[in-house]
Structure 1
Amino acid sequence: MSGQNESPYYFVPHPSRHPISAAVGLLVMLGSLAAWINEHELAPIGVVVGLLWLLYTLWHWFGDAIAESEGGMYGKNVDKSYRWSMSWFIFSEVMFFGAFFGALFYAREIALHQLGSLDYKLIWPDFSAVWPNNGPAALVSTFKSMQPWPVPTINTALLLSSGATLTVSHHALREDHRKKAIIWLAATLVLGVCFLFLQGFEYFHAYNELNLTLASGVYGSTFFLLTGFHGFHVFLGGTMLAVVLVRMIRGHFTAEHHFAFEGAAWYWHFVDVVWLGLYIVVYWL
């Protein structure tokens, strides 16, 4: 927020059409997605229409919020509410990934050992409680697990480097070195795009050379669930940083007031930390 005023009161915006418009877009998109799963012919068109409508609404909604910020309508209390809102949002994301890590822990440390215990030897005498495996009775086709080298390790280096470049950009902005901040933020975006490109290559390699798919038992399910949702969050965080970069180029931030940058940076660092957990638990253990 570059135009923050010193008012102790909250800014109350005028009634807006954006919430109901976004709800309509979500309803059309998710309803069409459900129809797509049930193989309705026109459902893919509905998904695209709903998504485009939602993106159109968010474009104007965020544009209004940016205009209010640049117009000096946001005071200290609004700034504080944004900080708390972003903090709780990231906390909800922590719980989101916590559930997925919990599912992986249960499958590996509890369910797998139960199936390999003496109680189940009469049913599946050849089953070995070794992770990963094809499941009892080998119901899943043979596959190879994903190894940490080279792509996951390179991606780890990319994300850690992006966290460092983002921090440099933030310090440059706080020191009012705008050009330096823009350059390092752009470098952060480039590293994020490289990460997503390599993850796409990793998935291609998994499907075509390792026979590792979503149908590869609980290992395949948890692998693609965790890494796929993390990739989506990298894309989302990159989108936030891209918007911040455009705003920074337009001169929207000052050294004192730039919470849009800070909020996006918090989210990006959270994504980095989640990847470190994934890298250790999914690829190494």
Structure 2
Amino acid sequence: MQRVPFHLVEFSPWPLTASLGALFITAGTASWMHGFRPTLVLVGLLVVILTSVVWWRDVIREGMFQGFHTAKVATGLRQGMILFILSEVCFFGAFFWGFFHSAMGPAVELGSTWPPVGVVGLDTFSVPLLNTVVLLSSGVSVTWAHHSLLAQDKSGVVWGLVVTVILGAYFTYLQVNEYLSAFFTISDGVYGSCFYVATGFHGLHVLIGSTFLLVCLVRAIYDGFSDSHHVGLESAAWYWHFVDVVWLFLFTFIYWWAGTGA
């Protein structure tokens, strides 16, 4: 019998396999850039995906079927998610620091202007503006799903998550097309590096958030949440709102502000 409100987890191999997968991806990407085949990258991605599936399965089982996620555990999970989002703020803060360092004092080698001489930026009020509307709309729909859950409206939860996942997938589709039609690449100096690293990592976060919400959608369909026990959906909604806010900064500064020739 458990005598404390905390969940004392069992030994698990998943942290080790996740670390190995991340190592394979990192080492494989470095070797790929030096002319080797991307085999190690693909192996790492497969390991990370499989680990995520089984680890997520275990966490859902612990909370939904075994009852280990007490109120105290749920509070700890929320605090952990808040700290994780704060670490993500620092992560993107580094990219914005690098961007402003170059944009607010462009060197002579860049033509003393931003964007640099010879680089044609993207039209701010075409695909980037549409993506802004799409992502902000998805923030509304995920809030709809959250509040529907609090009101014990299963239909509202399901449809809110369906709309959010579709909008997230549409955002990814638009961004891929934007990359394919851009007039510059990541190798075009500091401008290309700042643009693709910042927007690319944001796109990766959209993919992760969409997957997170898709798992929540499946759980909602099978009554995996209640109005008093829904840490998973709450964390997914927080993460998605964070992705929305980061995009607003990207759109304002990297697309619009930098596109005016600042």
How high is the TM-score relative to the length of structure 2?
A: 0.92
Structure number with larger C-alpha Rg: 1
2:39 is matched with which residue? 45
Q: Letter of the aligned partner of 1:66 in structure 2? A: I
Q: What amino acid is aligned across from residue 195 of structure 2 in structure 1?
A: F
Which sits farther off after the overlay, 54-63 or 160-169? 54-63
Distance 2:113 2:32 in 1: 37
Q: Return the offset for 1:270.
A: 0.4
1:106 and 1:235 map into 2 onto residues whose CA distance is 28
Q: Show CA shifts across 1:165-207 (max 9, x none).
A: 111111101100011110011001111111111111111110x
- In structure 2, C-alpha distance between the alignment counterparts of 1:212 and 1:232, rounded to whole Å: 20
Please name the residue that 2:23 is paired with.
27
How many residue pairs match? The answer is 255
Amino acid across the alignment from 1:81: G
SS in 2 for 1:15: coil
> 1:31 Cα deviation (Å)?
2.6
3-state SS of 1:93 partner? helix
| 3-state SS in 1 of match to 2:104 | helix
Q: Would you say 1:36 and 2:32 are equivalent positions?
A: yes
The one of 115, 119, 129 equivalent to 2:112 is 129
Alpha-carbon spacing, 1:23–1:128, altered in 2? closer, same or farther (3 Å): closer
Partner of 1:146, secondary structure, is: coil
1:79 to 63, 74, 80: 74
The question of 1:104 aligning with 2:99 is answered yes
How does 1:146-185 map onto structure 2 within 5 Å? 146-185=122-161
Q: Does 1:61 align with 2:61?
A: no
1:190 matched to 2:162? The reply is no
Q: TM-score, normalised by structure 1?
A: 0.85
Consecutive unaligned residues in structure 2, runs of 5 or more: 258-262
Residue 283 of structure 1: how far off its partner (Å)? 1.5
Question: Residues of 2 paired with 1:225 and 1:7: CA distance?
Answer: 48
The verdict on how the C-alpha distance between 1:27 and 1:215 changes in structure 2, with shifts beyond 3 A counting, is closer
Match of 1:139 in 2: none
Q: 1:15 aligns with which of 6, 11, 16?
A: 11
Paired amino acid for 2:169: V
**3-state SS of paired residue (1:72):** coil
Distance 2:25 2:255 in 1: 34
Q: Do 1:8 and 1:77's aligned partners in 2 also have CA atoms closer than 8 Å? A: no
Q: Which runs of 4+ in 1 moved over 4 A?
A: none
- For residue 120 of structure 1, what is the aligned residue in structure 2? none
- CA pair 215-35 structure 1, distance change in 2 beyond 3 A: closer
Q: State which of 80, 86, 94 in structure 2 corresponds to 1:91.
A: 86
User: Residues of 2 paired with 1:89 and 1:20: CA distance?
Assistant: 20
Letter in 2 for 1:265: A
